Amino acid sequence: MERHLGYIALNSDMNTIKGIVLDHAGETPGLGAEIKTDKFEGSFVGKTIYEGSDLVSIEIVKGGAPEGAAHAIDALSGATKTVQGVQSMLKTCLSYYDAFFKSKVAPAEEVETECNTENTECNE
Divide the 124 residues of the chain into consecutive groups of 10 and give the mean pLDDT of each group. Answer: 77 96 72 82 96 96 93 90 89 95 73 49 49
Q: What is the pTM of this model?
A: 0.78
Q: What is the pLDDT of residue 47?
A: 97
Separate counts of helices (H) and strands (E) for the chain: 3, 6
**Taking the chain, what is the end-to-end CA distance rounded to the nearest angstrom?**
56
Report the alpha-carbon distance of residue 9 to residue 19 in Å, rounded: 5
**Backbone dihedral region for residue 121 (phi beyond 0: left; psi -120 to 50: alpha; all else: beta):** alpha
Pick from 18, 30, 17, 23: which is nearest to 2 by CA?
23
Pick from 37, 2, 1, 3: which is nearest to 21 by CA?
37
Report the alpha-carbon distance of residue 91 to residue 49 in Å, rounded: 9
Q: What is the pLDDT of residue 111?
A: 47
Q: What is the pLDDT of residue 107?
A: 62
Q: Which amino acid is at 40?
A: F
Q: What is the pLDDT of residue 114?
A: 52
